[in-house]
Structure 1
Amino acid sequence: MFNRQNMMLAVHSASFNDEAASELIRELSRYAPNSQIAYRALDIIQHMEHDAKALEDVYQALEQGNCLIPEVKANRD
């Protein structure tokens, strides 16, 4: 069932996971066999870091009440 706390946890967790994965990719990109793969990794890192920041901003807005989420009742059909 959807609820505000579960959604906030999912957004916050996704932000953390994006950041952690981008750090790992950055470390592994040093071992890329060629510059093309290294540049691809750096591009992916940039997108993941942007996503992590955006998700953290959403989480902060939810936590501060600046972004309202209506409660959704479960469909009993």
Structure 2
Amino acid sequence: RRVTEALIDAAADSPMVVAFEDIDLADDSSLVLLRALAQRAASTALLLVLTVNAAQTNASRLAGWLNTLVSESRVTLLEMTPISP
């Protein structure tokens, strides 16, 4: 809760972008934190960027978590293709 409040308070002073990479590797506590942060960020000047390995989301708990996040918050999912050499 302190992390969420600190980021929300900081975004009140000026717009912020916070990135979390590889959330497919996150533990349950981290996912709870990110969900709470996403819910609060929807009404602030805080932009969250989360990266995830799409191959890991299909058969994992993360698929349900992402669906819940999309339904509860202002979330846009962008699928990126690999960069060709």
- Tell me whether the two structures share a fold, i.e. TM-score over 0.5: no
Return the structure number with greater relative CO, CA threshold 8 A, min gap 6: 1
Larger radius of gyration: 1
For normalisation by structure 1, the TM-score amounts to 0.31
